[in-house]
């Protein structure tokens, strides 16, 4: 069973969102998503400074078998990306919710957070896909 931490928000495109409570968030892909992809070998990070709307393609995670887009789960401006992943993309597999984070956004509108899925709701979504 995949790990779905209760303190995070989720998107149905399999990103997790950590709300820092100051109008910024950290985003990565879920344990379920990394398990489906298999061993990651390359992460194309979003560009710092780019302004994203919810649902925008903003990066790519590539495993040995396939490439998969990363979507912005919420609107905002990219202000930090995880360059550790340039040399160690496998961190997304081994530690998807901590060392394997992908990018940070300055939110356009903090109230958008309300539209994201709770851990329970995301857990149900994953269970229904299995």
Please give the residues from 44 up to 63 whose contact with another protein meets the rule CB under 8 A.
44, 60, 62
* C-alpha–C-alpha distance, residues 32 and 74, integer Å: 20
Q: What b/e readout covers 37-73, taking b as 16+ CB neighbours within 10 angstroms? A: beebeebbbbeeebebebeeebbebebeeeebebbbb
Question: Which is nearest to 61 in space by CA: 72, 69, 71?
Answer: 69
Does position 84 interact with another protein (CB under 8 A)? The reply is no
Stretch that binds another protein, among 21-29, 37-45, 46-54, 116-124 (CB under 8 A): 37-45
Minimum distance from CB of 41 to another protein (Å)?
4
Among 64, 115, 121, 127, binds another protein (CB under 8 A): 64
Minimum distance from CB of 80 to another protein (Å)?
20
Minimum distance from CB of 118 to another protein (Å)?
29
| β partners of residue 15 | 29
Residue ranges binding another protein (CB under 8 A): 38-39, 41-42, 44, 60, 62, 64-67
């Amino acid at each position: 069973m995949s790990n779905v931490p209760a303190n995070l928000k989720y998107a149905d495109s399999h990103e997790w969102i950590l709300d820092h409570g100051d109008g910024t968030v950290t985003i990565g892909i879920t344990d379920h998503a990394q398990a489906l992809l298999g061993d990651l070998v390359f992460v194309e990070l979003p560009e710092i400074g780019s302004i994203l709307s919810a649902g925008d393609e903003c990066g790519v995670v590539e495993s040995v078998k396939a490439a998969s887009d990363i979507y912005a789960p919420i609107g905002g401006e990219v202000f930090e990306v995880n360059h550790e992943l340039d040399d160690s993309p496998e961190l997304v597999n081994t530690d998807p919710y901590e060392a394997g984070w992908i990018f940070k956004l300055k939110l356009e509108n903090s109230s958008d957070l309300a539209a994201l899925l709770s851990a329970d709701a995301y857990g149900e979504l994953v269970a229904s896909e299995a």
